[in-house]
Each structure stands twice: as structure tokens, then as C-alpha cells.
Amino acid sequence: MTDVRPPGVRGGGARGGPHRSSLSRMSGDMYARGVDMQCPSAARMFDYYLGGTANFAVDRQAVDRLLGEVPEVQVYARATRAFLGRMIRFLCDRGIDQFLDLGSGMPTVGNVHEVAQRRCPEARVAYVDIEPEVVAHSRQLLRGTERVTVTQADIRDPETVLAAPGVTELLDFSRPVAVLAVSILPYVSDEDDPPGIMARYRDSCPAGSYLAVSHGTALTMSAEQVHSSENAYRDTHTPVIMRDPERIRELLPGYELVEPGLVPLPEWRPEPDVNAAQDGTDSANGVAAVGYLPDEPLRAW
């Protein structure tokens, strides 16, 4: 698989050589905030999949155990990150310059604002995450960055998210906005009604807005591997659930899917310079879609 990270960050993270420990300040901050560093975090685990350093031993141990049973999860993580970059560039080329990133996770290479502002220097990005360590680390790293905010909120409560100063004071909802739900909805249970949640975000956006979704699904994984994947996250504060493509399509209610529709992650508008040597499309065990909001939202799919 193509390693989509720049050479300067390759070699770290899961199965990638010694972990470069630069988190003493972060560890102290998290301890002071009462963060349980003995419990793995989905955000820090994802950071480790990508070769980042914003993770602790408990996260690395959880990932390494899971990779022994389900090596596809790292393929999924990297394919998700590659999709994020392609999708942001696509949206910028469509004239979108406002992004609401739900469940943004730990800052790592190729963040939304970095990709967007390279394409559109005036782009604005509002990051939202529920985990206090993610928010604290993000704010520290992004201090002084223009047209970027970080809000701590639960994405399952759209009204609170949309009323937060970091969102309302940065984004203009009288103009099209791209709502990003990249690899976050697997952490929203069926009981929380994820299609209903996304419909509430949709209703706050004007016609011409977009919604981007990526989600894990078992394309090549066995039932045992799916169970192992879900079980690995039961010890975190955000258990994970995989869904069938039909149920994932329901997460874009009222949107017209842009070409190529809901497809395996590497098949969404591939860029040869990035994906030429990537693993088979199904091995990422994830799908993605981008929806366009028409003047009249489509009826339930």
C-alpha cells in the first residue's frame, strides 16, 4: 500500500519502528485534566495507525493486538486519510471554502485546514470533537492559525454544536458549507439515530452545501475479524460499530451523491500519484460518499 504520509513522518506508528516520544507535556496536561491514560482512546489509536506521536502506550498496545488479528484496520485508516485529502481538494474546486469537521480527532499530517488552505487560502475550518485531550492538543498546535477554531462538543447534539461560538463566529451558514463526517459515524450507535443526527445538520445548511461520509464496512473481513475490531474498541469511551453499505447510504439523507457514489474508499475519485500502488480497493474495508444538497432535499433514500 502507498504510504500517503510525507517522508518526514514515515517509519513511526503501528508496525513502523520505534515510537518517537514527544508527549511529556501533553501527558502532564492530560493527567492534570483527569484524563484516564490507562484507557485506550479511539482518537489516539487512529493517530497511531497513521504513524503519529499523539498516543500513549495503552493505545499502541491496543492497536498492536488488533493488528495481529485484523491487519486491514491500518489499511482502512490510511485509505480514510487519503480520501480526506482528495475530498477536500474536490470540494475546494467546487467553490466550497467553509468546513465543519465533526469528530476531527488528533491533529496529524494532512489536516483539513492544511489541505483546504493550500487550495483556497481563505478557507475556514471549524473542528469539533468530544474528547478533552483532542481539543486541548488541537488548540495548542493550532494556536495562532487563522480561520480555524476547535470546539469541544458532542456531535450527537447538533443544536449545541451549531450554536457554539467556534462554529457560529467562523462559519456563515447563509452560504454553502461542507459538513465532514469522516470515520466518525462508526462511533455513533444505532440508538442515537445517526441518520436523524445528520438530517439535523443538513437542515442548518443552505442548498449547494455538501456532506462527506466515510465508514467501515466488512468487504473482505470475516465475521470473526469484525467481532475483533468491535471488541477492541469496547474498552474505549467510544465503542465502534461497522455497518452495511445500505445502512451507510442512509447517513446522507436528502443529499444527491456526486460521482462515483458510495464506493470503497480508494475508488472515490482516485489520484494516480497517491494511489497507484495502493492495496486492492476492498481491503480497506471502508466506503465513502459525498452528497450535494439540492434546493429541495431528496426524499428518504
Is 13's pLDDT higher than 60? no
Q: Cα 254 from chain centroid?
A: 21
CA distances from 37 to 26, 203, 287 (A): 11, 38, 31
In terms of pLDDT, which residue wins out, 273 or 97?
Answer: 97
Q: Are strands 178-182 and 263-264 parallel, antiparallel or unpaired?
A: unpaired
- pTM for the model: 0.84
Rounded average pLDDT over 6-23: 41
pLDDT mean across residues, the chain: 86
Q: What angle do CA 115, 119, 125 make, to 5 degrees?
A: 55
Give the pLDDT confidence of 151-181 residue by residue, as tens digits.
999 999 999 999 999 999 999 999 999 999 9
Under 8 Å between Cβ of 286 and 79: yes
In terms of pLDDT, which residue wins out, 110 or 96?
Answer: 96
CA distances from 65 to 51, 70, 73, 283 (A): 16, 9, 11, 19
In terms of pLDDT, which residue wins out, 278 or 150?
Answer: 150
pLDDT for position 156: 97
Lowest mean pLDDT among 35-44, 45-54, 211-220, 258-267: 35-44
Residues, the chain: 301
d(CA 1, CA 30): 34
SS (H, E, C) 165-227: HHHHCCCCCCCCCEEEEECCHHHCCHHHCHHHHHHHHHHCCCCCCEEEEEEECCCCCCHHHHH
**In the chain, % of residues over pLDDT 90:** 62
pLDDT for position 247: 97
Rounded average pLDDT over 127-154: 93
Is 16's pLDDT higher than 60? no
Band (pLDDT 50/70/90 cuts) for residue 23 is very low
pLDDT for position 108: 77
Band (pLDDT 50/70/90 cuts) for residue 295 is confident
pLDDT for position 88: 98
In terms of pLDDT, which residue wins out, 129 or 298?
Answer: 129
Which among 4, 207, 212 is positioned nearest to 99, based on CA atoms?
212
Q: What is the DSSP letter of 124?
A: E
Is 232's pLDDT higher than 90? no
Is 62's pLDDT higher than 70? yes
d(CA 158, CA 165): 13
Under 8 Å between Cβ of 12 and 60: no
Kindly list the domain boundaries of the chain, sorted by start residue: 9-69, 72-292
d(CA 150, CA 143): 10
d(CA 77, CA 94): 26
pLDDT for position 188: 96
Band (pLDDT 50/70/90 cuts) for residue 271 is confident
Rounded average pLDDT over 283-291: 94
Give the pLDDT confidence of 65-81 residue by residue, as tens digits.
999 999 888 899 999 99
Sequence-ordered alpha helix ranges (H) in the chain:
24-32, 42-49, 57-69, 72-93, 112-119, 132-142, 158-163, 165-168, 194-203, 223-232, 245-249, 272-275
Is 2's pLDDT higher than 80? no
Q: Taking the domain 72-292, which CATH number applies?
A: 3.40.50.150
Give the pLDDT confidence of 191-230 residue by residue, as tens digits.
999 999 999 999 999 999 999 999 999 998 999 999 999 8
Q: Record the cell numbers describing residue 10, joined without a space.
A: 514515515
